């Protein structure tokens, strides 16, 4: 199942910046090019569910948060 939602794009950039990571570093972490990661962050490519789960775990948030289904980062917020 692939996921592409504007809310995902809106939430990834601040999370990445809070971790002090560049788009290139995130691409390397995911095993994709910097350009492909940019497309993920801009919400212009489909995102495999496994990548969504990886990103949620990496940033310490829920998949529901990334998808815009909840406002809190995690239960502790």
In a domain, 72, yes or no: no
Higher pLDDT, 37 or 2: 37
Indicate whether 46 belongs to any domain: yes
Residue-wise pLDDT for 27-48, tens only, equals 999 999 999 999 999 888 888 9
Q: What is the count of structural domains for the chain?
A: 1
- Angle (CA) 65-76-28 rounded to 5° is 50
CATH of the domain at 34: 1.10.260.40
pTM value > 0.85: no
What's the helix, strand, coil split of the chain in %, to 5?
A: 60, 5, 35
How far apart CA 45 and CA 2 sit, in angstroms, is 9
CA of residue 61 relative to chain centroid, distance: 10
Q: Compute the radius of gyration of the chain from its Cα atoms.
A: 11
Query: Domain range spanning residue 10?
Result: 6-67
């Amino acid at each position: 199942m692939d996921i592409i939602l504007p809310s995902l794009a809106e939430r990834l950039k601040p999370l990445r910046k809070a971790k002090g990571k560049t788009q290139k570093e995130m691409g390397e972490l995911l095993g994709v090019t910097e350009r492909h990661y940019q497309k993920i962050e801009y919400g212009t490519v489909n995102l495999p569910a496994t990548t969504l789960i990886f990103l949620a775990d990496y940033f310490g948030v829920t998949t529901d948060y990334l998808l815009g289904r909840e406002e809190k980062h995690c239960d502790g917020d």
